[in-house]
Amino acid sequence: MLHHCRQLLLLICACACMPAALAQPAYTLVFGPENSSPGAIDSAGRIVGQAGGRAFLWDGGAITDLGTLGGAGAAAFGISDNGFITGGADRLDGSTHAFLFDGATGTIGDIGQLGVAGSGAGVNRAGQVAGTWVDEAGENHAFLYSAGLMRDIGNLGANSARATGINQAGAVVGSSFLADFTAFQAFLYRDGVMRSLGTLGGPSSWAAGINDSGQVAGTSYIDEETPHAFLYSGGVLQDIGSLGGAFTEARGLNEAGWVVGFSTYADDIPGIDFSSAFLYRDGAMFDLNLIVERPGVWSILDAYGINDAGQIAATACTEFGDCRAVLLNPVPEPQPAALLLAGLVLGGAWTGLRRRRSR
């Protein structure tokens, strides 16, 4: 009896010392508003986006219409941890302007315009907004709104750029065309200087988001026609791969450098098969459809944002065209020793059944 107890203790200790990276994450799913699409998620798990042509804030229960700038519609694309929200909203004259919604007062405000249209893409706790404005010729330009002033932040050689994210220090990321419009590349704008982050070997790249550590998530062509998601960290652009298919795109990241987005599979048929939302963490990419408890008729096609608690804002659809924003909540990972004890009590080997992927 003593011999068996010693063996059990050794097994528990060995299992408890296994690297946490070996654990597969698991998520539960909460459905958002009907016919909605997510834009971003904050640290409390609140999601902003668009539903029925209107910008919304959803806290997992209540849905708040953020209003417009006098026109009919609006869409939200960014939210800070203290309740600032940005996006684009219609005015009475039919134009679309970038807005800043103050969660503390519940009011929406026009932050100005440098051209004929514009929209905010990201906002930080200081109320700084990064986004894109459009000139009369229809060309895009990147802007930074700070201290009540909107200014153009330049480009990488051609008069065309888009800003897509901002961190707490006011560093902005996006993409810009190079001189002569030969290609476009992801940029990092910091301390008044814009520089290219390069590519993974192909001609073009674009950035989606930046965290407070300066890590950037985005997408780059690895050759003339194959785009892969990347994580830029420590001055290095890292290809984070795919789920087997040719196309992968990163949408956002958190402070730990976990990246979300969507990918195809090798056997996907364009126009017929759905894409699959992914989570990249600890050097591995997971198909969210395989690690989320959900009704079988739904497929999680894309993931737009992830917070530091691991909560994910994503889009789920059925094959009948019903799509909506969803909140994915991480299931706490059980301790290895607890798993071992449970297996010993049951007295048998556990066999996992891989659920059939619906794409």
Q: Which of 26-30, 219-223, 345-349 has the lowest mean pLDDT?
A: 345-349
The confidence score (pLDDT) of residue 22 equals 47
Tokens coding 165:
């994210």
pLDDT beyond 50 at 4? no
- pLDDT band per the 50, 70, 90 thresholds, residue 210: very high
Cβ-based neighbour number of residue 353 at 10 Å: 5
pLDDT band (50, 70, 90) for residue 14: very low
Retrieve residue 251's tokens. Answer: 């949408």
Q: Is the pLDDT of residue 17 over 90?
A: no
- Whether the CB-CB separation of 75 and 39 falls below 8 Å is answered with yes
The tokens for 35 are: 């016919």
Label residue 31 by pLDDT band (50, 70, 90).
very high
Is 264:275 a contact under the CB 8 Å cutoff?
A: yes
Q: Is the pLDDT reported for residue 8 higher than 50?
A: no
pLDDT at residue 336 in the model: 57
Q: What is the pLDDT of residue 11?
A: 36
Cα 120–Cα 124–Cα 128 angle in degrees, nearest 5? 60
Task: Give the mean pLDDT of 172-181.
Answer: 97
Which is nearest to 330 in space by CA: 30, 31, 26, 40? 26
**Do 20 and 57 contact (CB within 8 A), yes or no?**
no
In this predicted structure, the answer to whether residue 7 has a pLDDT above a threshold of 70 is: no
Residue 302 or 335, more confident: 302
Confidence of residue 319 (pLDDT cuts 50, 70, 90): confident
Name the pLDDT band for 200 (thresholds 50, 70, 90): very high
**pLDDT attached to residue 273:** 72
In this prediction, residue 40 has a pLDDT band, given cuts at 50, 70 and 90, of very high
Instruction: Please report which confidence band the pLDDT of residue 271 belongs to, taking 50, 70 and 90 as the band edges.
Output: low
* 64 touches 76 (CB < 8 A): no
* pLDDT surpassing 70 at residue 12: no
Q: Per-residue pLDDT averaged across 195-211, rounded?
A: 98
| Burial class for 226, CB neighbours closer than 10 Å (0-12, 13-18, 19+) | middle
Considering the chain, what percentage of its residues have pLDDT values greater than 70? 86
Q: How far apart are CA 258 and CA 209, in angstroms?
A: 12
The rounded distance, in Å, linking the Cα atoms of 60 and 239 is 33
Task: Please give the residue that has the higher pLDDT: either 142 or 333.
Answer: 142
Domains of the chain: 32-345 (2.130.10.150)
pLDDT of residue 272: 62
Q: Give mean pLDDT, residues 203-230.
A: 97
Task: Report whether pLDDT(355) > 50.
Answer: no
Report pLDDT for 335: 57
Query: For helices 336-346 and 2-16, what crossing angle results, to 10°?
Result: 140
Sign of CA dihedral 101, 102, 103, 106: negative
Mean pLDDT value across residues 185-208: 98
- Residue 176: helix, strand or coil by DSSP? strand
Q: In angstroms, how far is CA 178 from the centroid of its own chain?
A: 26
Q: What is the pLDDT of residue 20?
A: 44
Query: From CA 219, how far away is CA 227, in angstroms rounded?
Result: 6
pLDDT of residue 347: 37
- The larger pLDDT score, comparing residue 9 to residue 172, is at 172
Over the stretch 67-81, which tens digit does the pLDDT of each residue have? 999 999 999 999 999
* Angle of CA points 313, 190, 141, to nearest 5°: 70
- Average pLDDT rounded to a whole number, residues 27-51: 97
The mean pLDDT of 274-287, rounded to a whole number, is 95
pTM: predicted TM-score of the whole model, two decimal places: 0.87
Instruction: Tell me what percent of the residues of the chain surpass a pLDDT of 90.
Output: 80
What's the mean per-residue pLDDT of the chain? 88
